[in-house]
A and B are shown apart, each in its own frame.
Chain A
Amino acid sequence: MKRIGTMFVIGLVTVIIAQTAYAQLSGRDIMLKVDECGEVKTEYNKTKMILINKKGKTRVRDVVRYEKSYDGEKGIDSKLLIFFEYPSDIRGTGLLLWSYVDVGKEDDRWLYLPALKKIRRIAGESKNDYFMGTDFTYDDMGGRSIDDDTHKLLGKKILDGVECYKIESVPVDKDDQYSKKITWVIPDKWITAKMEFYNNNKKLQKVLTISDIRKVDKIWTPHLLFMDNLSKKHQTKIEIIEVRFNSEMNDQIFTTTTLQRGRVQ
């Protein structure tokens, strides 16, 4: 009886503490949760990338993507393999990327062009931060650590009928590409619903809208991402056709041999 009572008390206290903690979540706490919920061991997806220029002309590319997190094993942070499947004249073109825990260490990048049947290493930085003609920068796609920014909870705001946390994130590095970002986070799912990016002149540069959120392998996953680049008058739509999390991925996938094969067996 005493035992039960103790347990009850402990239980009650836990609930109270949890509730207080929940009520007092800071901006950083929320962003950390978003980060953690997105954390997976492996991810496979097949997407349709639709790029739209200012005249409304489009470029469509089908991309298959394998990503595996190594959590610092042998200094490796993660490995990524991308194949293009459509249009047919670039089918089989692949990109292999190894990124390292050590921030100072440059990523290893290999490229395979089937038309030339050759693998090449690409060294050096990218001439610009945008990823393959999209409106996403490498940073936008999750290359940032939680403490690269200082986060401030601005309050709760209704977005499309859902009450979201509205958080302002200001980069610690004053030379960052953005002056600030505003994120709307859906509580419970810990998913970003919308993001605004402000450039160095504090002008709204890009707006990301996320929709079609479905649960895949127990993880809330957005299936439609739309980035509107206001300054370039360019837009990117990413439709996720197929996605799998935490499936078994052989290390052999992330090698130049697979890259050269043009597909994963």
Chain B
Amino acid sequence: MTSKCNRRGIKSWIDFVMSYPRTIIGFCILMTVLMGWNIPNIVMDPDIKSMLPQDQEIIRSINDLEDIFGGSELVILSLKSEDIFSKATLRKIQELCDEIEDLDVVDKVMSLTNSFEIKGTRDGFEVRNLIEEFPETEAEREILRQKVADNDLIYGNIVSEDFQRTSIIAVLSLGNGDSRDEEIHQTFTNLKQKYEGPEEIHLAGLPLTRREIVKTMQSDMKALFPYGIALMIFLLIFCFRSWVGAFLPFAVVIMSIINTLGFMAILHMKFTFITMLMPVMLIAIANDYSIHIISHYFEEYKIRKEKNKADIIKTTLLHLKTPVFLAGVTTLVGFLSLQSHVLPPARQLGLLSSFGIALAFILSVTFVPAALKLLDYPMVLKQNRNSGRIDAFLSRWGNFFIRHRKKYLIASALVIIIIATGIPKIVVDTNPMHYYKKTSEIRISNDIIDRYFGGSAQLSILAKGDIKDPVFLCRMERLTDYLEKDPTVTRTISIVDQLKKMNRAFHGDSLEYEVIPETREAVAQYLLLFSISGDEEDLSQFVDYDYEQAQILARVNETSSMSLHKLLQDTREYVRDDLGDENFPAITGIVAVIGELVDMVVRGQMRSLIISIVLVSLICAFIFKSVVGGILSIIPLSGAMIIVFGLMGYVGIELNIATAMLSSIMIGVGIDYTIHFLYRFRFEVQSGLGASEAVIKTLSTSGKGIIYNALSVIVGFTVLLLSGFMPIYFFGFLIVFSITACLLGALTIMPALLVIIKPKFIFKRSER
């Protein structure tokens, strides 16, 4: 496998490291300091739109539409009262509205107290405040209730259908940024505190969600990072019983994290709740190589105490180079396969983690040996008393799976098949609201808005053409009629509704006139009428200044991301087949983003899964110079993967932006155990052992390393269970579960399979 030339190269490299350890350490530290200098430049990005590729049509058109029709972001304040029409509550709403209206970040406020109604009378029509005077008696309140129930712009939108709640909708002015979101949050929270009680007040809206995401990201970073480090140190001390053994892998991880963060800053990448995973990944994975090297060094040291350090280090590195290098390469392949993912944050995480892992690998063969050379021999090196017991356990373990190999393989196959039936049940979820627990304040508030006020998320559709032309308006109406048939759509709003209402009001409130006006002139004159008796700004949200572009808004009750995905697909299809794409060139809005992400999560997952599994099996086939070897190596992994996805289906863990990266990471990390096992097993067979003996020998030598390695990864990832983001929490749970599955696959299925198949690529030479 290794040519002489290669071996000489490595040897001279090791000689170099042994000769100039101080230079190497100094260089590593200097590089880390220089790279770390950039870290403060990294900014956080909580926007769900950043999850999509920025060259996506949807992202471009969201920006276009906001440019034409003004900001579409809302803050909705919902107020629950025993009687929302009581004088005290109405006065409170009025005062709240006045205060909100004066805010710089707010363009416009809609509420019960500033709602108008245009009503047709016998010889004309009236524009009146919905509430001209606060009702005094129950009879007056009943009249008002009736009036509200008749007004479909208010009922179910500003007043809940049970009359228990009312909402104040603040349309925000254009602008963005963390500090603005924070300001919006502060202002509205203060208002809430000021006016709350006895009325119950809830706040919702995208800026508030974004701000919550930033806060959660900050608290996550504060929690995950220190706990991860602490757990790692604890585990290292536990394994090595040595300060050196604990300190060096720790130093490698910290240096690779700092360098990767610096790299991130240089590339102008932002912290999203996905890229935030990078330090945790590195804590869990990047210490692997140095652990292998140090533990082997300790073992060699125990055996040959008389030799000098440089020699021991040399032997260790030469002995380990292939498996450690392979483990590094396959992990890199897994992470790099995330490059094929459709979602930018997954690609970024893949790139960053690969960088960090590659760096950790390099540090493990430069910094670590250099440090070992300089440092004293390990301060504490007690004989691990448990070692014997673990060996005994592992050989019992090996014997068990060899003896019952057929039964075990059939049983595992059955279990895998049964669990596989859960795969079709997997639900895709891309709604940023579901980052949070159902019991979290932000979810509760949002659910209230969804349930009582028809949802806070919108699908916006751009209509392009002669907006004054009744034929074009009819086409728009066909689209809104179509949309309203969709169960997720609670209501649609467009210029068509306004014109129909005006037409009806102009004709003595006669219902038969609630239709699109017949002529272009009539439309033009109604539009002028809005500027005389209505608020023309109300229209600017729906039609542009030249009457060439209009916006249709569909408010959506956020059910599942899959149904939003279906809504998006169906609408696109309907527009394409029935109305013509040229009339409705953009279907966009946050709902479209959520819907589009569904596709991307699924496609990204499939693509990176296939690429990583193919690459990894190719690498294995190459290592063992055998196609069978390549296929065999991925069997335990595939079994583990099926179990993980089946479990997701049965338990109801959604496939989302985070869990969509699972397979690549799992393949990259999980394959290591199989490779280590196969590599050692082949070595033992080639040294003349029979299949069963070789299994037992492999388990008690590499097996231990594999278990320690997997344990350190598992422990490293358990910190994700502390995350405030549900996708990250479940990602952590699943990765722990899947690494365990990979480990068990490598240590149970693999031995059983090897004993049964006796593959040629392992046994041929010994048979000869």
Q: Determine if B529 and A111 form an interchain contact, defined as CB atoms under 8 angstroms apart.
A: yes
Convert A126-170 into 0s and 1s, putting 1 for each residue whose CB lies closer than 8 angstroms to a CB of B.
111010110000000000000000000000000000000000000
Q: A50 vs B202: C-alpha distance in the bound complex, in angstroms?
A: 43
Tell me whether A55 is interfacial, beta carbon within 8 Å: yes
Interface residues on chain A, size class = 20 to 34
User: Which residue of B102, B126, B535 is within 8 Å of A122 (Cβ)?
Assistant: B126
Residues facing B in A20-61 (CB within 8 A) are 53, 55, 57-59
User: Which residue of B116, B520, B521 is within 8 Å of A127 (Cβ)?
Assistant: B116
User: Which residue of B126, B517, B538 is within 8 Å of A124 (Cβ)?
Assistant: B126
Tell me whether B123 is interfacial, beta carbon within 8 Å: yes
Q: Determine if B121 and A113 form an interchain contact, defined as CB atoms under 8 angstroms apart.
A: no
Tell me whether B532 is interfacial, beta carbon within 8 Å: yes
User: Which residue of A87, A116, A122, A126 is within 8 Å of B125 (Cβ)?
Assistant: A122
Tell me whether A248 is interfacial, beta carbon within 8 Å: no
Min CB gap A237→B, angstroms: 15
Residues facing A in B668-701 (CB within 8 A) are none
Given that A128-B535, A201-B102 are known contacts, is A57 also in contact with B528, CB under 8 Å in the complex? no
User: Which residue of B102, B121, B524, B540 is within 8 Å of A90 (Cβ)?
Assistant: B524
Q: Determine if B520 and A130 form an interchain contact, defined as CB atoms under 8 angstroms apart.
A: no
Q: Determine if A124 and B545 form an interchain contact, defined as CB atoms under 8 angstroms apart.
A: no
Q: A197 vs B468: C-alpha distance in the bound complex, in angstroms?
A: 35
Q: Determine if A122 and B531 form an interchain contact, defined as CB atoms under 8 angstroms apart.
A: no
Q: Determine if B525 and A122 form an interchain contact, defined as CB atoms under 8 angstroms apart.
A: no
Q: Determine if B532 and A132 form an interchain contact, defined as CB atoms under 8 angstroms apart.
A: yes
Q: A59 vs B116: C-alpha distance in the bound complex, in angstroms?
A: 26
Identity of the chain B residue whose Cβ is nearest the Cβ of A95 in the assembled complex: B532
Tell me whether B536 is interfacial, beta carbon within 8 Å: yes
Provide the residues of chain B in CB contact with A58, threshold 8 Å.
Answer: 545
Provide the residues of chain B in CB contact with A111, threshold 8 Å.
Answer: 124, 529, 532-533
User: Which residue of B126, B517, B522, B544 is within 8 Å of A123 (Cβ)?
Assistant: B126
Tell me whether B71 is interfacial, beta carbon within 8 Å: no
Residues facing A in B485-521 (CB within 8 A) are 506, 517, 519-521
Tell me whether B559 is interfacial, beta carbon within 8 Å: no
Tell me whether B585 is interfacial, beta carbon within 8 Å: no
Q: Determine if A121 and B123 form an interchain contact, defined as CB atoms under 8 angstroms apart.
A: yes
Q: Determine if B525 and A123 form an interchain contact, defined as CB atoms under 8 angstroms apart.
A: no
Tell me whether A100 is interfacial, beta carbon within 8 Å: no
Tell me whether A235 is interfacial, beta carbon within 8 Å: no
Query: How many pairs of residues, A versus B, come closer than 8 Å at their CB atoms?
Result: 91
Tell me whether B534 is interfacial, beta carbon within 8 Å: yes
Tell me whether B150 is interfacial, beta carbon within 8 Å: no
Q: Determine if B532 and A115 form an interchain contact, defined as CB atoms under 8 angstroms apart.
A: no
Tell me whether A261 is interfacial, beta carbon within 8 Å: no
Provide the residues of chain B in CB contact with A120, threshold 8 Å.
Answer: 123-125, 506
Provide the residues of chain A in CB contact with B102, threshold 8 Å.
Answer: 200-201
Residues facing B in A69-113 (CB within 8 A) are 84, 87, 89-90, 93, 95, 110-111, 113
Q: A123 vs B531: C-alpha distance in the bound complex, in angstroms?
A: 15
Given that A57-B546, A90-B524 are known contacts, is A126 also in contact with B532, CB under 8 Å in the complex? yes
Provide the residues of chain A in CB contact with B125, threshold 8 Å.
Answer: 120-123
User: Which residue of B127, B468, B520, B524 is within 8 Å of A126 (Cβ)?
Assistant: B127
Provide the residues of chain A in CB contact with B116, threshold 8 Å.
Answer: 127
Identity of the chain B residue whose Cβ is nearest the Cβ of A232 in the assembled complex: B537
Q: A115 vs B532: C-alpha distance in the bound complex, in angstroms?
A: 17
Q: Determine if A115 and B535 form an interchain contact, defined as CB atoms under 8 angstroms apart.
A: no
Q: A93 vs B537: C-alpha distance in the bound complex, in angstroms?
A: 21
Q: A84 vs B528: C-alpha distance in the bound complex, in angstroms?
A: 10
Tell me whether B128 is interfacial, beta carbon within 8 Å: yes
Provide the residues of chain A in CB contact with B538, threshold 8 Å.
Answer: 127
Tell me whether A188 is interfacial, beta carbon within 8 Å: no
Provide the residues of chain A in CB contact with B526, threshold 8 Å.
Answer: 113
Min CB gap B404→A, angstroms: 76
Q: A89 vs B519: C-alpha distance in the bound complex, in angstroms?
A: 10
Given that A53-B545, A90-B525, A115-B521 are known contacts, is A122 also in contact with B506, CB under 8 Å in the complex? no
Min CB gap A261→B, angstroms: 16
Q: A132 vs B520: C-alpha distance in the bound complex, in angstroms?
A: 20
Q: Determine if A122 and B533 form an interchain contact, defined as CB atoms under 8 angstroms apart.
A: yes
Q: Determine if A89 and B532 form an interchain contact, defined as CB atoms under 8 angstroms apart.
A: no
Q: A93 vs B530: C-alpha distance in the bound complex, in angstroms?
A: 13
Q: A107 vs B121: C-alpha distance in the bound complex, in angstroms?
A: 17
Min CB gap A173→B, angstroms: 16
User: Which residue of A53, A57, A89, A121 is within 8 Å of B524 (Cβ)?
Assistant: A89
Provide the residues of chain B in CB contact with A116, threshold 8 Å.
Answer: 506, 517, 522, 525
Provide the residues of chain B in CB contact with A55, threshold 8 Å.
Answer: 545
Q: Determine if B506 and A93 form an interchain contact, defined as CB atoms under 8 angstroms apart.
A: no
Identity of the chain A residue whose Cβ is nearest the Cβ of B522 in the assembled complex: A115
User: Which residue of A90, A122, A200, A201 is within 8 Å of B124 (Cβ)?
Assistant: A122
User: Which residue of A113, A118, A124, A130 is within 8 Å of B127 (Cβ)?
Assistant: A124
User: Which residue of B468, B517, B531 is within 8 Å of A132 (Cβ)?
Assistant: B531
Tell me whether A251 is interfacial, beta carbon within 8 Å: no
Tell me whether B63 is interfacial, beta carbon within 8 Å: no
Identity of the chain A residue whose Cβ is nearest the Cβ of B520 in the assembled complex: A89
Residues facing A in B72-97 (CB within 8 A) are none
Tell me whether A114 is interfacial, beta carbon within 8 Å: yes
Given that A55-B545, A132-B532 are known contacts, is A125 also in contact with B506, CB under 8 Å in the complex? no
Min CB gap B516→A, angstroms: 13
Provide the residues of chain A in CB contact with B528, threshold 8 Å.
Answer: 84, 90, 93, 132
Tell me whether B50 is interfacial, beta carbon within 8 Å: no
Q: Determine if B533 and A127 form an interchain contact, defined as CB atoms under 8 angstroms apart.
A: yes
Q: A58 vs B126: C-alpha distance in the bound complex, in angstroms?
A: 30
Provide the residues of chain B in CB contact with A90, threshold 8 Å.
Answer: 521, 524-525, 528
Q: Determine if A127 and B534 form an interchain contact, defined as CB atoms under 8 angstroms apart.
A: yes
Q: Determine if A127 and B468 form an interchain contact, defined as CB atoms under 8 angstroms apart.
A: no
Identity of the chain B residue whose Cβ is nearest the Cβ of A134 in the assembled complex: B531
Q: A59 vs B129: C-alpha distance in the bound complex, in angstroms?
A: 29
Identity of the chain A residue whose Cβ is nearest the Cβ of B120 in the assembled complex: A120
Provide the residues of chain A in CB contact with B533, threshold 8 Å.
Answer: 111, 122, 126-127
Q: A111 vs B118: C-alpha distance in the bound complex, in angstroms?
A: 15
Most buried by B among A93, A113, A124, A128: A124
Provide the residues of chain A in CB contact with B536, threshold 8 Å.
Answer: 130, 133
Q: A53 vs B517: C-alpha distance in the bound complex, in angstroms?
A: 27
Q: Determine if A133 and B531 form an interchain contact, defined as CB atoms under 8 angstroms apart.
A: yes
Q: Determine if B128 and A124 form an interchain contact, defined as CB atoms under 8 angstroms apart.
A: yes
Identity of the chain A residue whose Cβ is nearest the Cβ of B544 in the assembled complex: A57
Min CB gap B505→A, angstroms: 9
Provide the residues of chain A in CB contact with B124, threshold 8 Å.
Answer: 110-111, 120-123
Given that A122-B126, A122-B532, A125-B127 are known contacts, is A93 also in contact with B545, CB under 8 Å in the complex? no
Provide the residues of chain B in CB contact with A95, threshold 8 Å.
Answer: 532
Q: Determine if A113 and B506 form an interchain contact, defined as CB atoms under 8 angstroms apart.
A: yes
Residues facing B in A207-263 (CB within 8 A) are 232
Min CB gap A134→B, angstroms: 8
Q: A192 vs B536: C-alpha distance in the bound complex, in angstroms?
A: 28
Q: A113 vs B129: C-alpha distance in the bound complex, in angstroms?
A: 24
Q: A193 vs B529: C-alpha distance in the bound complex, in angstroms?
A: 31
Min CB gap B224→A, angstroms: 44
Provide the residues of chain A in CB contact with B524, threshold 8 Å.
Answer: 87, 89-90, 115
Provide the residues of chain B in CB contact with A89, threshold 8 Å.
Answer: 468, 520-521, 524-525
Min CB gap B623→A, angstroms: 62
Q: A95 vs B546: C-alpha distance in the bound complex, in angstroms?
A: 23
User: Which residue of B127, B128, B525, B540 is within 8 Å of A93 (Cβ)?
Assistant: B525
Pick 12 A–B contacts, CB within 8 A, sort by A: A59-B545, A90-B525, A113-B522, A115-B524, A116-B522, A120-B123, A121-B124, A123-B124, A127-B534, A127-B538, A128-B537, A133-B531
Smallest CB-CB A-B distances: 4 pairs? A121-B124, A133-B531, A89-B524, A115-B521
Interface residues of A (CB under 8 A from B): 53, 55, 57-59, 84, 87, 89-90, 93, 95, 110-111, 113-116, 118, 120-128, 130, 132-133, 200-201, 232
Known contacts A58-B545, A95-B532, A121-B123; 16 additional CB pairs below 8 A are A55-B545, A57-B546, A89-B468, A90-B525, A111-B533, A113-B506, A113-B529, A114-B521, A115-B519, A115-B521, A120-B123, A122-B127, A122-B532, A123-B128, A132-B532, A201-B102
